[in-house]
Amino acid sequence: MIRFEDVYKRYPNGREALGGISFALERGEMAFLTGPSGAGKSTLLKLIALIERPTRGAVIVNSRNTAGVSRRSVPGFRRRIGVVFQDHKLLHDRAVFDNVALPLVIAGYGPRETGRRVRAALDQVGLRGRERDAPITLSTGEQQRVGIARAVASRPDVVIADEPTGNLDPELSLEIMRLLERFHEVGVTLLIATHDLKLVEHLGHRTIRLVAGEIAADGLAPGGSEPHRPTTPDSTSPDRHGSRYRD
Amino acid sequence: MIEATTRYFGLHAQNLSGALGRLLRHPLGSLLTVLVIAIALALPAGMRVFLTNVGALSGSWEGAADFTVYLDDAVTEERARELAGEIDARADVDQVDFISRADALEAFRAQSGFGEALDALEDNPLPHALVVRPDQSAVDEMQALAESLDALEETAQVQLDTEWVARLRAMLELVERTVDIVSALVALAVVLVIGNTIRLEINNRSTEIEVMKLVGGSDGFIRRPFLYLGFCYGLAGALIAALLVAAALALLEAPARALAELYASVYTLMGLGWRDTVILVGGGAALGWAGAWIAAARHLRAIEPT
């Protein structure tokens, strides 16, 4: 679903953000991307969303090599990827409904189908009935959940999240991660960049650790309760990790 | 198919109402921009109306461009009619009217009020006359035509004020050309004003544009609201320009009528007319669209998610 083959990324200013990255994320797999600031986490996600292009190597998303996606085809390519941001990037001049509806309107869904999908997405993130609220009236955690609803509203195959819990306290962070896990359970491929190691250990999914633009470790996070399993989302259960994190 | 079409038009209707909403949300700023556009557009539109009126007036003076060829007393009516036919056949002549001395006397009697005095005369003192209207394309050769008419042996006198006609025509042409240049400059100004307004709007909404690009909005989708905004600016400006011209005409109507009455004429001012109003409003909207397009093409690409 996501495959990196010996990917290098050097920015025009000469800084090498990624130096020879290779890994693959299978369909329906969930993984964390960790590492210190400046290790290349954001760059890696940007290559997936075609915000940046690799200097060398191949990035394959949804069985499509990003090198073959022309500038004109980028929008269509991005519609199959959901992106969650640290600062949620909500539009504050419109209601929650319109924020979540944005990718659906862009994809050309009619008003009825859009309404149905928006309500479904808001329901999934626990914000049913808040459609008419202005984002500014919501708490930070709720705003992030709107951001997630927007990312999944058009039911993309791949969801990437860049520090989705960066601004949240531990309890809200866990809540958001649990929410993302639920999408993993219904078969969405998820890659989440985070520096919250405690949370990663607690949740125990596959973890790719970047250091200075290279993969330093790839496998199950230490402390996780399960071995790394690439797929079969139906075999996972919502509460398999217990509630140790709240202690 | 039907659903897709409905959705397409729905999207456009949404963009249009969105653009109107945006204009109304900042009424003062929008109004100022619209007024600038309106005043700019009213300038050439008003000048065109002025030209139309002058053109119509000078049309009624066009008779002044005719030659009157007074014939020798000795020329018979048959010969005069023959001569009229000969002159009419010339390429530089549009039309020749023969006025017999009897007709001339009748007309003079009716118009001058000297009827009784004329009755006192034994003979008709008036000569036969030919009214020669030069061909429109031959305006520059009027002098030559006058000379050749004068050279005819039957001619007693040729009367024409060519210089006056030439001056008026030259002046009208100059004004017309000026209006063309002013129109072109105003069109450019409107494109620039709207382009700049849209550029500011794009900068103000860069976050929104970035998010739209991130969730897969195509260039066309992102550009469309701005095009509609430019369209609305241009349309509103042109509509107000048409109102300004109408208001100016209303102010000028009374003095114009007073002036016409002094000349015992019933001339009434002509307004923009349907055709010119449609051109003005359509042109304004098109200029708005064009200005927005240029701004969008230049500035939307620069906003990329980072």
Structure tokens at A115: 């309404």
Percentage above 90 pLDDT, chain B: 33
Of the candidate ranges A15-29, B130-144, B289-303, the one whose mean pLDDT is the lowest? B130-144
Q: Does the pLDDT value for residue B197 go beyond 60?
A: yes
The burial class, CB within 10 Å (0-12 / 13-18 / 19+), for B18 is: middle
Q: Is A73 on the interface with B (CB under 8 A)?
A: no
Enumerate residue ranges in chain A where pLDDT < 70.
Answer: 221-247
Sheet of A64-65, strands arranged across:
A16-25, A2-10, A56-61, A64-65
Q: Is A113 on the interface with B (CB under 8 A)?
A: no
Of the candidate ranges A130-144, B116-130, B216-230, the one whose mean pLDDT is the lowest? B116-130
pTM over the 0.90 mark: no
Q: Are the C-beta atoms of residues A59 and A45 closer than 8 Å to each other?
A: no
Nearest CA in chain B to A150: B215
In one letter, which amino acid is A31? Answer: A
A9-23, A211-225, B67-81, B108-122: which has the highest mean pLDDT? A9-23
Structure tokens at A32: 């964390």
Q: How far does the CA of residue B15 sit from the closest CA of chain A (Å)?
A: 12
Mutate to test the interface with A, among B215, B221, B300 (most CBs of A within 10 A): B215
Contact B207 A49 (CB under 8 A): no
Q: Is A27 on the interface with B (CB under 8 A)?
A: no
Q: Is B305 on the interface with A (CB under 8 A)?
A: yes
Q: How far does the CA of residue A169 sit from the closest CA of chain B (Å)?
A: 25
- Contacting residues of B for A118, CB less than 8 Å apart: none
**Residue range B34-55, pLDDT digits in tens:** 999 999 999 999 998 988 887 7
- Contacting residues of A for B221, CB less than 8 Å apart: 75, 106
Among B10, B208, B215, beta carbon nearest to A78: B215
Q: How far apart are CA B285 and CA B190, in angstroms?
A: 10
Of the candidate ranges A88-97, B108-117, B144-153, the one whose mean pLDDT is the lowest? B108-117
Q: Is A51 on the interface with B (CB under 8 A)?
A: yes
Parallel, antiparallel, or unpaired: how do β-strands B67-71 and B129-134 relate?
antiparallel
Q: Is A103 on the interface with B (CB under 8 A)?
A: yes
Q: Are the C-beta atoms of residues A100 and A121 closer than 8 Å to each other?
A: yes
pLDDT at A237: 43
pLDDT at A221: 64
pLDDT at B138: 59
Q: Is B59 on the interface with A (CB under 8 A)?
A: no
pLDDT at B139: 60
pLDDT at A224: 45
Q: Which phi-psi region, left, alpha or beta, contains residue A242 (left: φ > 0; alpha: ψ -120 to 50)?
A: left
Give the ipTM.
Answer: 0.82
Q: Does the pLDDT value for residue B155 go beyond 80?
A: yes
Q: Is A106 on the interface with B (CB under 8 A)?
A: yes
Q: How far apart are CA A138 and CA A157, in angstroms?
A: 28
Q: Are the C-beta atoms of residues A192 and A176 closer than 8 Å to each other?
A: no
Q: Are the C-beta atoms of residues B209 and B300 closer than 8 Å to each other?
A: yes
User: How far is C-alpha B217 from the geometric centre of its chain's CA atoms?
Assistant: 44
Q: How far does the CA of residue B217 sit from the closest CA of chain A (Å)?
A: 6
User: Is the pLDDT higher at B60 or at A244?
Assistant: B60
**Residue range A133-173, pLDDT digits in tens:** 999 999 988 999 999 999 999 899 999 999 998 878 888 89
Confidence band, pLDDT 50/70/90 cuts, at residue B58: low
